[in-house]
Amino acid sequence: MSIFVVGVNHKSAPVAIREQVAFSPERLVEALHSAKLITQEHLILSTCNRTEVYAAGHEPQQIEQLIAWLARFHNISLSKLQPYLFVYQEEQAVQHAMRVACGLDSLVLGEPQILGQLKTALQQASQAQATGHQLTHLMQQAFNTAKKVRTQTRIGANPVSVAFAAVSLSKQIFSHLEQQTALLVGAGETIELVGRHLNAHHIGQIIVANRNLERARKVADLYHGIAIGLPEIADYLAKADILISSTAAPLPIIGKGMVESALKLRKHRPMFMVDIAVPRDIEPEVGHLDDVYLYTVDDLQSVIEENLQSRRAAAEQAETMVLDEVQGFMGWLRAQEHRDTIRQFRQHNEAIRDEVLARAHKMLQNKNPSEVLEFLANTLTNKLTHAPIQSMNHAAQTGNDVLLAHAKTLFNLTDES
């Protein structure tokens, strides 16, 4: 069984490519079922920074088939997608999975959100009956590794995230946030985190817009804010000094015309916008308007870089821990290839035990228990050692020193034994 990963991320592809291969929540189950035509074990991780398909299979051609499927599913030409794809196999794939879970491959080094997203991806694959023993074990070990890294290093000691970077950048535009109004579009973990950071900087007012109004209210209530539906954004946009958007919408929610109208009402007071979503929530053309400062996920890199110094030493320690865990998983994976042999060996010896024990029980009716115990011990010893001794004798007669050396290791023998 081979483990492999196919995908794009913030390192390999720009946002314009990533948004074309992102899986919307509405189509994820369809995608998981569709990929079963290629491999029975797979899961899909799709976030604003990455789209990755983890899979386990037996055939080498499955990798190329999965790449072709990814392009076909998203209606993007293979020639356009291919330059941005990465493929990892075996140990590299296992290492990648664990690095992703630990936040070592994230745009923001050590960010914790990716672990929850990976757990959700496994749960969704499991519900769609798209994953199996190998991938499930890999993910569970990746989760355990991430927990070790979190508890044994300081990789998460400082508040560094895309949300934190977005708020830090807003402070460069507006030095004090007490008089500003922030419009947050979406109501997921990222938006909650943005709200938390804005609240810590004493933002004047928070408005939360979401397709599900009840969910918007739950987030808004955390920060004494206002909840609105997505259709109401146009009515409230002129009040927003800061707009940060992170939804799973397949098409832009905020267009150039909507922003132009808001700027007129604002008398061209500046608006700061961060589009964290992939696909994008804000039309790129909005960035060409005067008085608008529009940033995408990729633009946050320089801000994030300033907050990473304290995490780098912890990351080095974490990388060493990941390598140890990779070796542990690869050992387990290799053992799976021979588990039938191990099971047969155990069943063979259990059958011998049951046969001899049954005979001993019958003998107890007529013989002294001491005689029966002696019979049991001698017969079990003879039957369990008969085949190995025959093989070792044959190896000794034919000069097969390699087999004899392996026998010493297998039966834990020493020269003094």
HEC secondary structure over 302-346? HHHHCCCHHHHHHHHHHHHHHHHHHHHHHHHHHHHCCHHHHHHHH
Order of strands across the sheet that contains 86-89: 41-46, 50-57, 2-9, 86-89
What does the angle CA 107 – CA 125 – CA 298 come to, to the nearest 5 degrees?
15
Phi, psi of 62 (to 5 degrees): -65, -30
CB 1 within 8 A of CB 134: yes
Task: List strand residue ranges (DSSP E) for 181-270, in order.
Answer: 181-185, 205-210, 226-229, 242-245
Q: Is 48 a catalytic residue?
A: yes
Distance CA 264, CA 268 (A): 6
| Catalytic annotation, pick one of 13, 21, 32, 48 | 48
Burial 6-37, CB ≥16 within 10 A → b, else e? bbbbbeebebebbbbbbbeeeebbebbeebee
Beta-carbon contacts of 249 under 8 Å, excluding residues fewer than 6 positions away, are: 211, 277, 279, 281
Q: List the structure tokens of 49.
A: 């920074």
Name the burial class of residue 176, with classes exposed (0-12), middle (13-18) and buried (19+) by CB atoms within 10 angstroms of its CB.
Answer: exposed
> Residues in the chain, how many?
417
Instruction: State the catalytic residues.
Output: 48
